Amino acid sequence: MLSLFRSLALLVAALAAIARAVHPVEVRGQDFVDTVTNKRLMIIGVDYQPGGQAGYKPDSKQDALSNGTVCLRDAALLQRLGVNTIRVYNVDPSINHDDCASIFNAVGIYMIIDVNSPLEGESLNRASPSSSYNSAYLTRIFGIVENFKGYPNTLAFFAANEVMNDVGTSKENPPYIRAVQRDLKNYIAKHSTRTIPVGYSAADVRPILEDTWAYFQCAIDGKDDDPTRSDFFGLNSYSWCGGDATYQSAGYDILAAMFSNSTIPVFFSEYGCNKPEGVARVFNEVAALYGKNMTALSGGLVYEYSQEESDFGLATINENTTVSLKKDFDNLQSQYNKLDIKLIQSTNAAATQAKPPKCEESLISDSGFSKNFTIPSPPDGADDLVKNGIKNPTQGKLVEVKQTNVPMAAYGSTGVQIQNLAIKPLQNDESNTPGGETTSPSGTASPSPSPSKKGAAGRAGVGIWGVTVAVLAVVLATL
Ligand SMILES: *[C@@H]1O[C@H](CO)[C@@H](O)[C@H](O)[C@H]1NC(C)=O
Ligand SMILES: *[C@@H]1O[C@H](CO)[C@@H](O)[C@H](O)[C@H]1NC(C)=O
Ligand SMILES: *[C@@H]1O[C@H](CO)[C@@H](O)[C@H](O)[C@H]1NC(C)=O
Ligand SMILES: *[C@@H]1O[C@H](CO)[C@@H](O)[C@H](O)[C@H]1NC(C)=O
Ligand SMILES: *[C@@H]1O[C@H](CO)[C@@H](O)[C@H](O)[C@H]1NC(C)=O
């Protein structure tokens, strides 16, 4: 009896010890593709910045991926929601992100990382790109590459976000963004064991949107390996507002046509208009975005996980560190549950086979957008940084995920506590998919929870993985 238990326990321990990792993803033409299964990766994602911009506190070594307990809580909820990708805006290159990256990896969630931050010197200054493009800035963004290149679930890097936000800012900035992309891609080629795509996240400013995409997808001198070119294009799209909007009224037909012959993946790097105010979003656009009309696009990321001042949250993070889902979360989950995952993962038969167009002034309209394809040379010191690497980088790596149960409580949209909240590490190395479930429990919460129930959440929710970890601990202790 004991020996049977021991061999079972050892088997479980052996299985648990295998470092599970999502498959690396690469760009092939218009699509993101899983390099092992060759299935298309359609981004089913959520933008993740708990605390908003203020959650980025490099002075106290805190950012959105610095606290494993917080990530465990949010990964458990995002896994149930059905997402396969998060976008994280402001991270610090000197912080250890191993716990958070490993937790998201374990549940099959990729990360798209912005290399910039709103702090002075940590992004291009749209009013003065030439003065902000310097080796101190490059050291920061190369630090982000060093920090995240070792995680298999790092899907991509955003070199810049909404630098062009009107016609005026589209005159001088575009060549500088291509320069930053070049420097990042050269650094990755020299210092990473796998290639990680680099691209731009654009504001939906209509006079310049198509020019922005045309400017970044083209290849200078027609060279496929031109490092200044974007590997993908993100669009922050808020044109679908309210439950009555349609494919046509939201202008999705125009977007589908605009990007139909894109030679790089295009996706919504933010979406989820919050108008009309005061009502939960119904997310009807999900059916359109992942439907047959829009297979040229690679999905999108809903703005955003947590409720912040801007009022776009799917969930509210309470002061006592518990989370309360909003009705928006339920609505998005039910939309995700209706998706045809087979269609989504199948080859994009309509994808263009065209090579990237050669950069020429004629690709750009007369909107005022830059037609200048002379890209600035790297600033002083940059060649050395790219050649020899930055000094003393913090390099992340996957670590064992020991805890699976979420220690704090989370509540559904009606206030009822979600039972057994835990992450469920995936066993097949693939990415997370919608599970057909509803996370918010039915019913309504009792109006005043008795104070003696405080802390009960910490003991609740011992799932199968909790048992496995407990068994593993026992085995290790007895060996
Ligand atoms: C992580 O977050 C939890 C919940 O907010 C908090 O209790 C804990 O102190 C944090 N850990 C660190 C190291 O900051
Ligand atoms: C994309 O298609 C449009 C119209 O369908 C066409 O005008 C444009 O030249 C095409 N662009 C490329 C790069 O093939
Ligand atoms: C697809 O396009 C057609 C024609 O433009 C439109 O009527 C339909 O609603 C679209 N389908 C979805 C799911 O948006
Ligand atoms: C194009 O940009 C380069 C720097 O990238 C600059 O030196 C040059 O003057 C610009 N050309 C025009 C016509 O603005
Ligand atoms: C935490 O705060 C929320 C919101 O104020 C409250 O509903 C919940 O009961 C609290 N939970 C615990 C365990 O203190």
Distance, first Cα to last Cα, the chain: 17
> Which amino acid, residue 247?
Y
For residue 12, being part of any structural domain is answered with no
**Tokens 């909820």 belong to residue:** 77
Q: Which of 180, 257, 246, 182 is nearest to 213 (CA)?
A: 257
Model pLDDT, residue 427: 85
- 464 pLDDT more than 90: no
This prediction has a pTM of 0.90
For residue 263, being part of any structural domain is answered with yes
As given in the structure block, the two tokens for residue 159 are 């070199």
Q: Decide if 111 contacts 75 (C-beta within 8 A).
A: no
Q: Which of 199, 344, 325 is nearest to 286 (CA)?
A: 344
Residue 18's pLDDT band, with cuts at 50, 70 and 90, is very low
Highest mean pLDDT (candidates 175-179, 354-358, 424-428): 175-179
For residue 92, being part of any structural domain is answered with yes
Ligand nearest to the CA of 407: 1
Of 210, 261, 262, 362, the residue with max ligand 2 atoms within 8 A of its CB, to mutate for a pocket test, comes to 261
Q: Decide if 50 contacts 61 (C-beta within 8 A).
A: no
210 as an active site residue: the answer is no
What is the average pLDDT value for the chain, to the nearest integer?
Answer: 91
Residue 5's pLDDT band, with cuts at 50, 70 and 90, is low
For residue 413, being part of any structural domain is answered with yes
Catalytic residue among 122, 210, 270, 304: 270
Residue 299's pLDDT band, with cuts at 50, 70 and 90, is very high
Ligand nearest to the CA of 289: 3
319 as an active site residue: the answer is no
Q: Whose CA is nearest to atom 8 of ligand 3?
A: 247
Q: Whose CA is nearest to atom 14 of ligand 5?
A: 454
Sheet holding 323-325, edge to edge: 315-317, 323-325, 410-411
Q: pLDDT exceeding 90 applies to what percent of the chain?
A: 84
For residue 4, being part of any structural domain is answered with no
Tally the C-alpha atoms within 13 A of residue 92's C-alpha that lie toward its C-beta.
17
Spell out which residues line ligand 1, taking CB within 6 angstroms: 67, 69-70, 321
- 317 pLDDT more than 80: yes
pLDDT for 360-375, tens place per residue? 999 999 999 999 999 9
> Rounded distance, CA 82 to CA 152, Å?
19
Q: Which helix (DSSP H) or strand (DSSP E) does residue 237 occupy?
A: strand 232-237
For residue 147, being part of any structural domain is answered with yes
Domain count of the fold of the chain: 1
Model pLDDT, residue 451: 45
Judged by phi (left if over 0) then psi (alpha if -120 to 50, else beta), residue 43 lies in beta
As given in the structure block, the two tokens for residue 119 are 């702090």
> Rounded distance, CA 327 to CA 411, Å?
11
Model pLDDT, residue 66: 98
Of 57, 66, 69, 70, the residue with max ligand 1 atoms within 8 A of its CB, to mutate for a pocket test, comes to 69
Q: Whose CA is nearest to atom 11 of ligand 4?
A: 372
Q: Decide if 233 contacts 199 (C-beta within 8 A).
A: yes
> Rounded distance, CA 203 to CA 168, Å?
14
3-state SS, residue 256: helix
Q: From the CB of 145, is ligand 5 less than 6 Å away?
A: no
Model pLDDT, residue 6: 57
Model pLDDT, residue 194: 96
Q: From the CB of 251, is ligand 3 less than 6 Å away?
A: no
Residue 355 belongs to domain with CATH number: 3.20.20.80
Q: Which helix (DSSP H) or strand (DSSP E) does residue 369 occupy?
A: none
Q: Decide if 351 contacts 30 (C-beta within 8 A).
A: yes
**Distance in Å, CA 356 to ligand 2 centroid:** 11
> Which amino acid, residue 112?
I
Specify burial of residue 238 (Cβ count, 10 A radius: 0-12, 13-18, 19+).
middle
For residue 10, being part of any structural domain is answered with no
Q: From the CB of 291, is ligand 3 less than 6 Å away?
A: yes
* Alpha-carbon dihedral angle through residues 291, 296, 298, 303, given to the nearest 10 degrees: -70
Model pLDDT, residue 368: 96
**Residue-range definition of the domain harbouring residue 226:** 25-463
- 459 pLDDT more than 70: no
Ligand nearest to the CA of 449: 5
- 460 pLDDT more than 60: no
Q: Which helix (DSSP H) or strand (DSSP E) does residue 215 occupy?
A: helix 206-217
Q: Which of 154, 130, 271 is nearest to 204 (CA)?
A: 271
Please compute the mean of the pLDDT values over residues 71-80 and round it to a whole number: 98
Determine the atom of ligand 1 nearest the C-alpha atom of 68. 1
Q: Which of 311-315, 414-418, 427-431 has the lowest mean pLDDT?
A: 427-431
Q: Decide if 202 contacts 236 (C-beta within 8 A).
A: yes
Residue 124 Cα to chain centre, angstroms: 21
